[in-house]
Amino acid sequence: MAYTASDSRYTGMQYRRCGKSGIQLSALSLGLWQNFGDVDDEAVYRKTLHTAFDCGITHFDLANNYGPSPGSAEINFGKILKEDFAAYRDELIISTKAGYYMWPGPYGEWGSKKNLVASLNQSLKRMQLDYVDIFYHHRPDPNTPLEETMTALDLIVRQGKALYVGISNYKSAEAAKAFSILKELGTPCLIHQPKYSMFERWVEKDGLLNLLEGNGVGCIPFSPFAQGLLKNKYLNGNTEGARANKGISLKEEQITEEVVKKIKALNAIATERNQSLAQMALAWLLKDDRVTSVLIGTSSSAQLLDSVACLKNLEFTSDELKRIEDILN
């Protein structure tokens, strides 16, 4: 049956301004890195996309290489976009990225103008789109001058193939240079996508969050559950059916005794807050105004609904924050 979006889709979600831009993003955004590839079940991920939009999630994050196989998440998303979301294109912020390995030879990865322009052309074809809303450089390239990479992002915007640009996985010093080049070119950086969770806090130590705030650039942390570690499933070291068992990224040996101890202690605080551990992990990121949106992965629409319910409690008492710090440090 044809999909019609829920009339109440904008009532339960929170929207936050992305840095000093005109764009607001839903407090939660959906990433299609895993669970949307051609190894996955189309009925499941189609339903997940419907549920996300019905909950007011307006931002969907892709990259050239998402799958597996690489490129298949864009193909699958493009198909569903055409079949189910055509009437809603102007309500969506769709992003993609280039920078990681995508095709053989010297132009299939990193940060040359050749790679970025060709990769985005391929992504647009796969998704059957004329433009994306945000195009990211996925990772810094130590061998290409930053000026070339940033000029490529500017060019792509001028060509109308992306409305805004972002960078991902850049440390503060490189990010500061990138922001200044982009500003000079007249295409200010909209957003930065760093890895950030209770278990991965380099953005605080490196000063990235302050840099983003100072430059009016938004922040969209990825892997907020530390790829699923921050959830009740691992409380007893049980990994059945979970990502740790699929061998794609999270490794079973990452679930050490020390990690399980921390997860248990954090879960006790989450329970007092009437939240699941996953919900508290999201709320903990969203308590900071410098965070525009949190980019979540999900393996089902039920799991997504559980994540969205974090919005019911984003406040932390100073005592809760202190106890969380004591566990994490």
Q: Given the rule CB under 6 A, which residues bind ligand NDP?
A: 31-35, 61, 138, 168-169, 193, 222-228, 231, 242-243, 276, 278, 295-299, 303, 306-307
Whole-number minimum distance, CB 218 to ligand NDP, in Å?
Answer: 14
Largest CA distance in the chain: 54
> What is the rounded distance in angstroms from the CA atom of residue 122 to the CA atom of residue 275?
41
Question: 96 and 132 in contact (C-beta within 8 Å)?
Answer: yes
CB closer to ligand NDP out of 184 and 204: 204
**65/215 with CB nearer ligand NDP:** 65
CB 308, min distance to ligand NDP, A: 9
Nearer to ligand NDP, 137 or 161 (CB): 137
Tell me whether residue 157 or residue 263 sits nearer to ligand NDP (CB atom).
263
Q: How far is the CB of 195 from ligand NDP (least distance, A)?
A: 7
Q: Classify the phi-psi angles of 160: left when phi > 0, otherwise alpha if psi is within -120 to 50, otherwise beta.
A: left
Cα separation, 83 vs 281, in Å, equals: 34
| Min CB(303)–ligand NDP separation in Å | 4
CB contact at 8 A, 180 and 39: no
Cβ contact 307:279 at 8 Å: yes
d(CA 293, CA 288): 10
**At its nearest, how many Å lie between ligand NDP and the CB of residue 299?**
4
- Closer CB to ligand NDP, 184 or 287, in the complex: 287
